[in-house]
Amino acid sequence: MSFIDFDTIIRESWNAYDPSREIVRVVDISAKVSTNHVYRITLKDKNFVVAKLTYFGKYEHFVEDHSIINTLSNNLPAPFENFLARSLMKGNTLYVHPYKSEIIDAWVVFYRPIHIKNKLPKRLNGDQIDKLAVQIAQFHKACDTVKNTLPVSSKTMKTDIYDILNLLDSEEGKYDYPLYRELIRSQCELFLANYDKLNGAELENMPVFVDWNIGNFSVTPSFKLFSRWDYDWFRMSSRMLDFYFLSRVVSDIGDKTVFSYNIDVMMQPRFLQFLKKYHQVNPLSEREILFLKESYRFFILTYVVKYGRFFFHEIFANKLQKEAFEIHLPSIDTKFDPQPLLNAIK
């Protein structure tokens, strides 16, 4: 979408927010693998803010998610009271500017700058795995503590899967993935059946950020969580949705520029170590461990298949979706073995 003047959209959005504070500079600081547009805005008064522009999904869901995150950031107890980047308010309402033209429907949200300390190393050692597990367990506990104070979310895992099935049957969707439509349908139906079998609705009750890529958060020198600023995959759901990305963070291969969303990382000894340490601080149930498989299936169906073309530039999206169809989805039920994970938490 290089023909769209995103700079102008950002300036228009800020002027609708506060025209008394003039913009002197807009710099694109977007991640190069994503289609989201992130900007650092320098104001005439020498202060700066961060703007994010997105044009996929639903505006209502975007506002809903950021409203929940803002309430969460205000309500989290110590030591996480300043962990999450906060969005700007106008009056007593979260400010999100909708932009509409013949070419694009987009919306812009502004964030207060957040301090960043150390990013995780690309490959963690054993001690660092334990420290990260303790921090994530404590953060999940804090989120669970305040979950009943948060605005209501209209999305569930089941409604998202039904959206995919409805898209397959729609006029617009019948031309998408013609070679893989039945595979997608069967995987959606498998998820729904297993979700009900495991009574997954009882697990959907806390805020999760899903994408724990090491470029999305920072830690202190002693490996305590310090700041988090990326919310693209936020939702209210089971905490198990966080664990696939955490298995990638602690994997033996570590962070790589070229990557694949394979399920094998959840079978590795390093993830079992993470799981065991997490469980000591914030115990996991057998049902949650069994639900890990469905959390992974949901991730592939939703964030790779449904939204992949929006989350990633075309070259990445095509690669990841092809792997999802030909490797990852067909092998979920043969590759995922819950027993080593259950043994790890005894």
Q: Which of 160-174, 224-238, 255-269 has the highest mean pLDDT?
A: 224-238
Least confident of 89-103, 165-179, 187-201, 234-248: 165-179
Mean confidence (pLDDT) of the chain = 92
Q: Which pLDDT score, from 0 to 100, does residue 4 have?
A: 75
pLDDT score of 311 more than 80: no
How far apart CA 185 and CA 248 sit, in angstroms, is 27
pLDDT score of 221 more than 90: yes
Task: Indicate the pairing of strand 105-111 with strand 48-54.
Answer: antiparallel
Q: What is the mean pLDDT of residues 217-232?
A: 94
Q: What is the mean pLDDT of residues 82-92?
A: 95
Least confident of 13-17, 78-82, 313-317: 313-317
Return the bridge partners of 48, or none: 42
How far apart CA 201 and CA 180 sit, in angstroms, is 28
Q: What percentage of the chain exceeds 70 in pLDDT? A: 97
pLDDT in tens, 197-208: 999 988 878 999
CB 210 within 8 A of CB 233: yes
Band of the pLDDT at 50, cuts 50, 70, 90?
very high
How far apart CA 268 and CA 121 sit, in angstroms, is 19
Q: What percentage of the chain exceeds 90 in pLDDT? A: 77
Q: What is the mean pLDDT of residues 273-300?
A: 97
Q: What is the mean pLDDT of residues 20-46?
A: 87
pTM: 0.93
Q: Which pLDDT score, from 0 to 100, does residue 35 have?
A: 63
| Residue labelled with tokens 């995959």 | 233
Number of CB atoms found within 10 A of residue 205's CB: 13
Q: Which pLDDT score, from 0 to 100, does residue 232 have?
A: 85
Least confident of 29-43, 195-209, 318-332: 29-43
Token pair listed for 329: 């989805």
How far apart CA 22 and CA 44 sit, in angstroms, is 5
Residue bearing the bigger pLDDT, 169 or 208: 208
pLDDT score of 1 more than 50: no
Q: What is the mean pLDDT of residues 264-287?
A: 97
Q: Which pLDDT score, from 0 to 100, does residue 56 have?
A: 79
Q: Which pLDDT score, from 0 to 100, does residue 33 have?
A: 60
The CA-to-CA distance between both ends of the chain, in Å, stands at: 51
Tell me the three-class secondary structure of the chain, residue by residue: CCCCCHHHHHHHHHHHHCCCCCEEEEEECCCCCECCEEEEEEECCCCEEEEEEECCCCHHHHHHHHHHHHHHHHHCCCCCCCCECCECEECCEECEEEEECCCCEEEEEEECCCCCCECCCCCCCHHHHHHHHHHHHHHHHHHHHHHHHCCCCCCCHHHHHHHHHHHHHCCCHHHCCCCCHHHHHHHHHHHHHHHHHCCHHHHCCEEECCCCCCCCEEECCCCCEEEECCCCCCEEECHHHHHHHHHHHCCCCCCCCCCCCCHHHHHCHHHHHHHHHHHHHCCCCHHHHHHHHHHHHHHHHHHHHHCHHHHECHHHHHHHHHHHHHHHHHHHHHHCCHHHHHHHHC
pLDDT in tens, 114-137: 999 999 999 999 999 999 999 999
Q: What is the mean pLDDT of residues 204-230?
A: 93
Distances (CA, A) of 171 to 10, 160, 310: 34, 19, 20
